[in-house]
Structure formats: C-alpha cells, structure tokens
Structure 1
Amino acid sequence: MKTTLTERKSGDPAIALDRVHLELESGAGPVNILRGIDLSIAAGDVVSVVGPSGSGKSSMMMIIAGLERPTSGRVVVSGADLNTMSEDALALFRRDTIGIVFQNFHLIPTMTALENVAIPLEFAGRSDAFDRASDALTAVGLGHRLTHYPGQLSGGEQQRTALARAFAADPPIILADEPTGNLDGDTGRQVIDLMFELSRKRGATLILITHDAALAARCDRTVRLEDGLIRDPSSTPAQTPARSPVTA
C-alpha cells in the first residue's frame, strides 16, 4: 500500500539505511561494494549523491529502490522494511512509492510518449492512466508530443518523457541516476530545473546521483561516497566501517 507524506509519522525519515553492506561475487573473488552505510534522509529533501566512479553510488540507489538486496544491514524506505519483503512485494512497493529516472531514458521504442508514461499506471490498475499520463507530459512541456515515438523525440524530450513517467503516479520518492549524462549542457540544465520544480511542487524526496559539482550545490544536502563509505561534509573524516560479517 502506498504511504503518502502526510500519512507518515512526523519526524520519520523517508529513507533510512542502517549499517548496510553489499558484497558481490566476481571472477577474482568477493568485492565489497558498500562497507557499512548509515544514512537518513528526511521526507521532502533534495539530496545529491557524489563520488568517484566505482564508489558505490548506483549500488546504494539500487538498494534504496529494492532492486538489490544488501548483504547485511537494514533498509527502511517510506516506513517499509525492505528486508522483510518478497520480490513480488518489492515490485508492488516500487510501483506505488518510487519513481526512477535513468541516464539512458529506458523508453519503449515501439510505444508513443503517451503510452510510455501510461504503462506503469496501467499496471497499477489506474482507470485514468492515459489522462494522468497526458497531464504529466503536459506538465513537462510535451503536451504537443503525445503521439510521437522515442525515435521522433530529441534527447531532451526523451528525458522529459522519462521524467513524466517517474512523476505521473505522484510517488513520494524520486531516484535519479545521472539523468543529464546523455544531454548537452543547456538541455541538461532545463531537465534539472524541471525535475527540481516538480519535486518541490509535489513534496517528493529527490535523490540525485551526479558528477556535476554545481548541480550538487543546488541540493539541500550532499552525500559523498568514497570506497563504499559515506563522507558527508557535515561529518568528516570518513565514516568508520561498522562491524559486520562482511570483511572490509
């Protein structure tokens, strides 16, 4: 069941990670991706996640979205303990709670912009799926592009379609992984301005992975990852790994 911002208890974080470790197997042996992450993000905050490639940024976002299970530690998102959920329950939770914006858009090429935005709403059983999709596309300035296919849209228009899809169901949490990585500077700034505007207007919590220092500075808070640990400007030096069965 979807938990709205108003239904959540006052003071409860939108996202809480407690000693989260992630270890993945590789041909050379186990690799420690995350090494004891403690993180709390308040509802409605706009947070940038920065750090060098391979520091664990995308892995942390995958865990928040329930797309990757931690090796150890607790993950609570929008009041729900993700560790206790089955894969089916996680899929329903994502559908109702989390909107995701990818760098590569991930639009279905054989569907129009309207159909791309409507399809997750249809899966959710919304009888007004196409009306909501049309409204969402109009909100991002694509009301005149409803019947166009991704191949007929510019890169910026494709990313705005992806934004409309992420926001159409009014999820309380939006996750964006380098959403402007495939766009030129001016188009990227327009997309980011739009993302910030939609997040503020709807009161959504926005977590944004970026390598752009200027963009990170626009957020309420910046979380820096280095070597699978959080280094936050408000709490230096680097976070000390918590004790766990995973070898750091």
Structure 2
Amino acid sequence: MIQLRNVQVKLASAAGEVNILRGVDLAIAPGESVGIVGPSGAGKSTLMMVVGGLERASGGETVVAGVELGGLSEDDLALWRRETVGIVFQAFRLIPTMNALENVAVPLELAGKSNAFARAREALEQVGLGHRLTHYPDQLSGGEQQRVALARAFVIQPKLLIADEPTGNLDGTTGTAIMDLLFSLRDRFGTTLLLVTHDVGLAQRCDRIVRVKDGQIDLGEAA
C-alpha cells in the first residue's frame, strides 16, 4: 500500500535549509496498521502529510496505492486523495457552518455521488450519532465531534486512513472509546491505517510500530 524510498523533505528558512525528512525508507502492506511514534519535531506529521499527498517530498519516491505521488499535479493529487485517503486530525477540522450530516456528506458531494446524504446518514449511525444529524459542531462534545470526523473519513471507504494524534484533544476515557471505534471501523473495511501519536501505548494497538527520530526511521528502535 505504501512504499517510500529515500524520501526527503527540505524547507528553506532565514537560517538556511532545514531537513525535515532525511531519506526515509518505509513499506506498509495493504490492510496493515502502523503506529508512527517519536519525539516532537522528529518528522512524524511531515511523514504523514507526504504519504497523504498533502505535502510534496523534495526527493525520493512516494508510492501509495500504486500511484507515484511525485508525478501528479495539484489537481490530480486532490482527485487521488478524494478517492483513496481518509484523514482524521487532532483538531477535528469540521466545517462550523454545516451540521453533522452535511459535514460527512461533503467528500461524497465533491465526488459527485447522488446518494451522498443517505450514505452520510448511514456513516453517522455506524459511529452512534444517528440522533445528532442536524447538530452543528459547537453543539457537540469533543468526543462527538471526533466521531463525526471518523464518519467523514470512512464514508468514502478509503484504502488508507491517516490519523494524526486523533485523541490529543480528548480526555482518557473518551479517547479510548474513539480509538476502539476507529479500530472497529478499520477492521470492518479492511483499511490500511497510519496512526501518528506520542502515545506508545496507543501505538501498540497497531500491527507494528515505526519510530521516527531526527527525520529518519530509527532502525535501532524498531518494534
């Protein structure tokens, strides 16, 4: 599902070039769940952004779901993400002027699906929010907002789900419930999961842990 070969990300700054990723090699099989851990500033989120087609690598080869992302235009990348990738962020990223049903229907509407709202309703029912369809984000608890975000991510039945600190804004009990739900949905759809987290205990729920340090895979800490 994911094949990274010597992937680099370099950014210009007033102090000179900054190397965020320094030649990352990583292979992830279809249906595998992988926890990405490491200290702040190690490059975890940048790695996630590259795999999700949200940031371009400066060098190397990024192949996801059989597509080499470096050769795609911005428009082609957007179309590829729409069909392939579901993303769950720490900050939920819901559209505040849309209710839960409308938020979940957005990716389906963008894809031109005629049954967008029926599928969105079903997705919200799957995450236990069938009674919250017309509620807006500010009328929902943090846990409920993350459930809406999960429904939105899974409604397209993505080949790849990327979750970036999905429990970071939640209390422990709510975070555990959200992760139980995420893994349940992942198992139901057979989705490949890339989970970025500071919580090693959470990462241990995955099939494998990959540790990132100073922009590289820390082979000495492989798990």
Within a 5 Å distance, the mapping from 1:147-162 to structure 2 comes to 147-162=134-149
Gaps of 5+ in 2: none
Q: CA deviation at 1:108?
A: 0.6
Matched, 1:96 2:94: no
Alignment of 1:171-186 (within 5 A): 171-186=158-173
CA distance in 1, matches of 2:169, 2:100: 19
Q: Tell me the distance in 1 between the aligned counterparts of 2:197 and 2:175.
A: 12
Q: Structure 2 CA distance, aligned partners of 1:183 and 1:95?
A: 27
Shift of 1:146: 0.3
Report the counterpart of residue 181 of structure 2 in structure 1. 194
Q: How far apart in 1 are the matches of 2:171 and 2:118? A: 31
CA positional deviation for 1:237: 6.7
Q: Over residues 106-128 of structure 1, what are the superposed CA-to-partner deviations in whole Å (9 max), with x where a residue is unaligned?
A: 00111000000001110000001
Residue number in structure 1 paired with 2:125: 138
Determine helix, strand or coil for the equivalent of 2:12.
strand
2:124 and 2:130 in contact (8 A); partners too: yes
Aligned to 1:74: 61
Q: TM-score with structure 2 length normalisation? A: 0.98
Provide the aligned length of Structure 1 versus Structure 2. 222
Measured after TM superposition, the shift of residue 27 of structure 1 is: 1.8
Whole-Å Cα distance in 2 between the matches of residues 218 and 82 of structure 1? 29
- Scaled by the length of structure 1, the TM-score of the pair is 0.88
| Cα deviations by residue, 1:58-77 (Å, 9 ceiling, x for unpaired) | 00011001111111000000
2:94 alignment partner, SS class: coil
Query: What CA deviation, in whole Å up to 9, does each residue of 1:182-234 have, x standing for no partner?
Result: 000000000000000000110000100111111111110000000001014xx
Higher helix share: 2
For 1:54, the equivalent position in structure 2 comes to 41
Determine if the alignment matches structure 1 residue 211 to structure 2 residue 194: no
Mapping of residues 19-58 of structure 1, within 5 Å: 19-58=6-45
CA distance in 1, matches of 2:51, 2:196: 13
Q: Which runs of 4+ in 1 moved over 2 A?
A: none
Do 2:211 and 2:221's aligned partners in 1 also have CA atoms closer than 8 Å?
no
CA RMSD of aligned residues (A): 0.9
